[in-house]
A and B are shown apart, each in its own frame.
Chain A
């Protein structure tokens, strides 16, 4: 103790203190983060990581670098976590088709097994959000009304209240959420893909995330109670419809009625 107190005026003491502080907060932060996120159902084996590495070098390294350290063409993937890979590759966004305002979804390029291997490889590079546990994807445990409220407050400003999608600036957009799987919805919230912000577990708790998923799945499966939904795009498609189909039919009738007499 005495030795320590004697050295507290040592020139390096401040630096050492800073280091300890940083390590402690960083460690706590990661620990807290991974407490929330360590819900992985999949346990990756060493061979998964190895196969994943091979796939990565063959398919992703041109943009992300051989060690996923990032290149001018793609960001570093160290610490993005398995959830991010599962989402990006599982929705077909990666490998990216072309540079543009935003990576576009396209048909999935890899088998489920290969996606697991790629995820395993990227997860092995640094701690990050893991693929969510089944428990958080089970819509029978969720509350759609609460999910709707969370969705309207946090998501609707980009994705539209009916999850039909919406525009962002300069060609970016928030896609429609129709048909997106439970796991991908969850992963999107925790990883913030493309231009979406991250909603970590202190923003939206895992229970609330499950509620959101329940809400989305419920409005997706219930269909449209009032008839054809016209894309759920709101007044624009309704206006377009009445000016084309509605007025068109009426005009056809007026022509028919007035042509009879002459």
Chain B
């Protein structure tokens, strides 16, 4: 090619940039990535909040590693916190106290680290709920949903390993519970516990081991998964809410560069600022209050951080005996009797397996029931997927009941009710809550959908009462503009797909089950208003079917 067309940088910086670009090809990357479109909606920002709090965790955590010593060797505290001076404790606890009281800015950094950890898991959870309730996990994003689920579990692991490091009374009590759960595993439990703690609990090894997990393995896995996660977000492109001009083949929003990148960069500092302000003004995990870990004392109000609370709550709800039925079984074996501690095993494992199992499987369950193999880039409004939304709410209620149970003692003291009653009510809600949540949510969704139909067909209530020449009163309804109407009618509404015969005309049992589920999911669906219905409604002077399809016409 002729040299004339070749790009010649004019400035010094330009020449350096060009030099680098010719060797690493950055500009194509920036061009490609910078042209990605990211739609604007506040509910899309929780993934970012998770990402930013994770970065804050990395930064503040690095600071803490400079001063933290994960040794369980015994020492006598000689730092400046008087109520603990001379007390025997582990080096790990002493160094955490030193970070809090004798390292400049140390307490602030500890609080930044812990507050951002709480915010991190909270934003991951809200992000996940957003993805679930809008149906963003559907094809082609199922695998990204799974990667996200792994991230959720990793976040819990990161939080729990970190919570245990200072070796204070509170975290030691938490570890003891974990030890109990591990030991409750049949046959292998005691061995796992012995390997984990290097002998009998608490031993002198556990803090060092958790430290390695907390600062190396778990963050590395999270980083890896986040990279995969974001890569897939770029590959799939972001989803968008329904709206005029938004289709399954486009994304309406801002290009990542420069507007979006600038906004996102600014948002990082906003999140950092909020975390810093909170950390400056509010104590978190005041380890000096709890004292060094010692297996004998247990403090009242011993709770894990919020994201482990649901497991703690499940343990609190579980009765040891039900009438005369004991959940602790002694099983005779040729080599002696082994105990099966179901009152620990069931609450510690079953709710987690149910919730996480359902979470991972849900995209496939929905795909199977709907027999829907299309790609979905337009999100559902939660009301337009009543069954899914109801299942989600049931899950949230189930989780929240266990979550609340973890603070049953504080509920009792602060609302002046009996601890026993709190436990009984929560036990009932554990079973009834999800069912009630499901039914109520489904009904609300269906009602909202009917209301949407009503608004599309009749327009919005204007709040103006008119009197007709005959003396009748009626309220004026204002027709919707096209854009608003589009949002209310353009949604995907899967219908019941009855069990289908296969090639030879046979209906398999699995297929029958699928058909039944499909009916359960969608039988009372409210279909979106069709153009014909709309035309008819207008012709009828604003009175027409509110119910979908062939259902009853609502007259005057």
Contact = CB atoms under 8 A, between A and B. Distances in A.
Q: Do A and B come from one complex?
A: yes
B204 interface: no
Interface string B28-57: 000000000000111111100100000000
Contact of A246 (B87, B100, B119, B408): B119
A233 interface: yes
Give the most central of A148, A171, A250, A257: most B CB within 10 Å: A250
B299 A156 contact: yes
Contact of B290 (A161, A166, A261): A161
A161 B294 CA distance: 13
Interface stretch (A2-10, A182-190, A219-227): A219-227
Contacts of B22: none
Interface stretch (A25-33, A48-56, A81-89, A234-242): A234-242
Nearest to B307: A239
B274 A246 contact: yes
Nearest to A260: B263
Interface string B118-161: 11001100100000000000000000000000000000000000
19 contacts: A144-B83, A152-B299, A161-B300, A167-B419, A170-B419, A218-B83, A219-B83, A227-B279, A227-B281, A228-B282, A232-B286, A235-B304, A246-B115, A247-B119, A250-B123, A253-B267, A257-B45, A257-B267, A262-B40
B111 A226 contact: yes
Q: How large is the interface on A (under 10, 10 to 19, 20 to 34, 35 or more residues)?
A: 35 or more
A160 interface: yes
Contact of A234 (B42, B45, B297, B301): B301
Nearest to B163: A235
B166 interface: no
Interface string A149-187: 100110011111110111111110110000000000000
Contacts of B83: 144-145, 147-148, 215, 218-219, 222
Interface string B79-91: 0001111110000
B291 A258 contact: no
Contacts of A222: 83
Contacts of A224: 283, 286
B413 interface: yes
B410 A167 contact: yes
B75 interface: no
B365 interface: no
Given A166-B301, A250-B119, A171 B286 contact: no
Contacts of B281: 227-228
Chain B contact residues: over half helix, strand or loop, or mixed?
A: helix
B314 to A, nearest CB: 16
B343 interface: no
The 4 closest A-B pairs by CB, nearest first: A166-B300, A239-B306, A226-B283, A167-B409
A173 B419 CA distance: 9
A262 B307 CA distance: 35
Contacts of A152: 169, 291, 294, 297, 299
Contacts of A250: 49, 119, 123, 271, 274
A229 interface: yes
Interface of B: 40-46, 49, 82-87, 100-101, 107, 111, 115, 118-119, 122-123, 126, 169-170, 254, 259, 263, 266-267, 270-271, 274, 278-286, 288-291, 294, 296-307, 309, 406-410, 412-413, 416-420
A174 B283 CA distance: 24
Contacts of A170: 418-420
A157 B410 contact: no
A236 B407 contact: yes
Contacts of B420: 169-170
A255 interface: yes
Interface of A: 101, 144-145, 147-149, 152-153, 156-162, 164-171, 173-174, 215, 218-219, 222, 224-230, 232-236, 238-243, 245-247, 249-251, 253-255, 257-259, 261-262
Contacts of A262: 40
B385 to A, nearest CB: 23
Contact of A218 (B82, B280, B291): B82
A165 B300 contact: yes
Nearest to B101: A225
Nearest to B277: A249
B301 A164 contact: yes
Nearest to B271: A250
A59 B289 CA distance: 41
A19 to B, nearest CB: 42
Contacts of B296: 153
Contacts of B45: 254, 257-258
A250 B294 CA distance: 39
Contacts of A259: 42
Given A228-B281, A247-B123, A171 B412 contact: yes
Given A101-B418, A246-B122, A239 B309 contact: yes
Which of B84, B86, B283, B285 has the most C-beta atoms of chain A within 10 angstroms of its own C-beta?
A: B283
B306 A238 contact: yes
Contacts of B304: 235
A259 B41 CA distance: 8
Contacts of B299: 152, 156-157, 160-161
Contacts of B418: 101, 169-171
